[in-house]
Amino acid sequence: MMSLTAPTTQQEAATSTEAAPVRDLAALNAWLETLDAERRVEWALTHGHGNPALSSSFGAQSAVALHLLTQQKPDIPVILIDTGYLFPETYRFADELTERLQLNLRIYRPLVSRAWMEARHGRLWEQGMTGLDNYNQLRKVEPMRRALDELGVGTWLTGLRRNQSASRADTPIVQQRGERLKVSPIADWSDRDVWQYLKKHNLPYHPLWHEGYVSIGDFHTTTRWEPGMRDEDTRFFGLKRECGIHEDI
C-alpha cells in the first residue's frame, strides 16, 4: 500500500497544520499527483484545513465525487446551490443521489427570488457578458461564498477535472484560497476514468446526459451538445464556461 507520508522534500507541505498556509504548493501537488483519487481524499481529510465540505452541481457526472467522498466521510456536508433555474431533472437527480448515498445535503439559495431579480433587472442571462456576470454573482457566487463561510469550511472539495474545458485545463489537485484549501481529487481523470468508476459502482449519470447534455447548469443557459461543438460551447451560449464559483472564490 502506498504511504500517505510525503517524501522528505515535500513532507512539510503535505502535513501542513490546520489553517496554516501551505508553503510549497508545487511540491505538494507533485506528490499528490502520484496518489490515486482515494488517497488524495484521505490526505485532504487528514491533513487539510479542517471542516471539509464538497460542493456539487448534481451535474452530468457528479455521482463520482459524491460517492468517492462519502465512502470515507459519510457525513461530509454536500453544498448544492439552488439558483431557482435548475432543470427539473436535476432536482430529481439530487433527490435520488441524496437517498441512495445518504448525503448530508446543504442547500443554499440566492438572497433574492427569481421574481425579485427579474422585476428589477430583467432576464440578466440574455444581457450579454455583463448580464451573465451579474446573474452568476447574484445566483451562484454569493450563495456559495455564504455557504462556505457559514459552514466554516476549511477544506473545500470539488469534482473539477482538467479535461472538462480549456478553462479547467490547469486545475491543480490542491489550491490555497485565503485560509481555505480547495482540493480536486479527480482533477486528472479522463471521461473514460469517470465512466469506469460509475460502471464499477453502479452509479448513474444525470438523466439529461442520455439526451445529449454534457454539461448541465441552469435550463436557460444550457444546450444540448451537437457535432462540431466543444463541451464548453453548451454553456452560457458559448460566451464562457465558468459561472464564477471556481474563479472568484
Provide the annotated active-site residues. 243
Nearest Cα neighbor of 47 from 151, 147, 187, 174 is 174
- State the burial class of residue 133 (Cβ atoms within 10 Å of its Cβ: 0-12, 13-18, 19+): middle
Q: What is the DSSP string of 196-246?
A: HHHHHTT-PPPGGGGGT-SS--BGGGB----TT--GGGGBGGGT-S--SHH
Q: How many CB atoms lie within 10 A of CB 199?
A: 9
Taking the C-alpha atoms of residue 86 and residue 231, their distance in angstroms, rounded to an integer, is 19
> Given the DSSP bridges, would you call strands 104-108 and 155-157 parallel, antiparallel or unpaired?
unpaired
Do 249 and 146 form a contact (C-beta atoms < 8 A)? no
Q: Where are the alpha helices (DSSP H) in the chain?
A: 8-14, 25-32, 37-47, 63-70, 88-101, 114-121, 128-136, 142-150, 191-200, 245-248
Nearest Cα neighbor of 155 from 237, 73, 59 is 73
